[in-house]
Amino acid sequence: MSYFIHADLDAFYASVEQLDHPEFKNKPVIVGGLPGDRRSVVSTASYEAREYGVHSAMPLVQAVKLCPDGIYVRGNMNRYREKSAEVMAVFSDYTPVFQQLSVDEAFLDITGTEKLFGPPETLAREIKKTIFDKTGLTVSTGLASNKYVAKIASGMSKPDGLFVIPPGDEEKFMMSLPTDKIWGAGKKTRELFAKHGLKTCADIHRLSPEILRSLFGKALGIFLYRAVRGQAAEDFENKQENRSMSAERTFPYDLHDEFEIETHLFSIASEVFFRLLQTNLQSRTIIVKIRYGEDFSTEGGRETFQNPLQTLNEYYDQLLALFHKKYQAGRGIRLLGTGVANLEPKSNIMQTELFDSVTEKEKILEKSILAINSKYPKAALKRGRLLEPCPKGL
């Protein structure tokens, strides 16, 4: 028999803030921005703040209206990652087979640990206690025979709970749930459920695979068929990683000025390229993303090349060309983004042959400049080329 725990930290960012600032304890803490920040969104609300109706993804201005006396902070990802690492280290003390899903949740495969740690439920309680003792954070947990059901169970144990689904009860448990508990069916799919009068998982359970496929499409249809039977565990078993890398920025006021637009494009591209350099990956595809202010519409563009990108100069050249191909000149820009895709492990085979020594020197120089820029971000914003080609004969 297999056993999985899904563990999910409660109101993670807000809890870390309360931990680091004891005066925030038992107060409504909202992470995501300061009152007055335009176009921000709530990232995490403490349970005290949720009493006011504040929740994740809510526009910050609305949160301020609901909870004017809340404690607002922009947040500090580095600190949250640090705390996350402490938690993950505890998990790995109990099982080597654990899968981190995001900064605040993980699956633990505890199959076969009974001799060491006792029955699964006992172990789940011990893990919760250890996390709290060592990090001061509370964690919601679900225990089941597969990951999917464990994930749903942990969601129902919030906050600071443990929800156990005994082996054999997976299908019965799923059937008892309303459709909005299905992990993997979001807003649009729930609208479809409503349209077809599907209120509970049992309603979906009655539909044949063929009907599900015709209503929801191939992949989603099959997924739903399995999900309501408590069998959808393999769906995220082999999630591919490192397929793309991107950065984007929403501006408090729409951009119109070309110089400003290009400056931001360069700055965002530098950030992506620097992150790419810190991996052993390379990319042949660049992506641009533009969101217009007036109607919130978003457009993308992408281009794939024969050979992997070598330098930031090259990346920025191509990006700028692609941007101007897609941009509807004159419209105000709310968001700019760029990224690289088709990531693959770096191969050094062709490089020395295909690329001349100028490119090699350029790469080395760029690398050190980007490293300096990341250390002193104030000095980093610089439009145009990082390095101009050396004029001939000088």
Partner DNA sequence: TCTGGGGTCCTAGGACCC
183 binds DNA (CB under 7 A): yes
Would you list the DSSP string of 90-149? HHHHH-S-EEEEETTEEEEE-TT-HHHH-SHHHHHHHHHHHHHHHHS--EEEEEESSHHH
Distance (Å, whole) CA 383 – CA 249: 16
Q: Which of 130, 169, 184, 318 binds DNA (CB under 7 A)?
A: 184
Q: Which of 1, 57, 379, 394 binds DNA (CB under 7 A)?
A: 57
Q: Which of 245, 255, 269, 312 binds DNA (CB under 7 A)?
A: 245
Residues in Cβ contact with 330 at an 8 Å cutoff, skipping those fewer than 6 apart: 256
Nearer to DNA, 136 or 184 (CB): 184
Distance (Å, whole) CA 24 – CA 14: 9
Q: What letters, b where the CB count within 10 A reaches 16 and e where it falls short, cover 107-123?
A: bbbbeebeeeeeebeeb
Tell me the CA end-to-end span of the chain in Å, nearest whole number: 73
To DNA, the closest distance from the beta carbon of 269 in angstroms equals 12
- Which range binds DNA by CB under 7 A, 95-103, 129-137, 168-176, 313-321? 95-103
Q: Which of 19, 47, 59, 79 binds DNA (CB under 7 A)?
A: 59
Q: Which of 185, 227, 232, 333 binds DNA (CB under 7 A)?
A: 185
Site string for DNA, 204-223 (x = CB under 7 A): -------------xxxx---
To DNA, the closest distance from the beta carbon of 92 in angstroms equals 19
Closest-CA residue to 10 (of 45, 62, 39)? 45
- Which range binds DNA by CB under 7 A, 199-207, 301-309, 344-352, 373-381? 301-309
Of all helices (H) and strands (E), which one includes residue 338?
strand 333-341
61 binds DNA (CB under 7 A): yes
To DNA, the closest distance from the beta carbon of 186 in angstroms equals 2
Q: Are 1 and 145 in contact (CB under 8 A)?
A: yes
Asked about 105 being catalytic, the answer comes back as yes
101 binds DNA (CB under 7 A): yes
| Residues acting as catalytic residues | 105
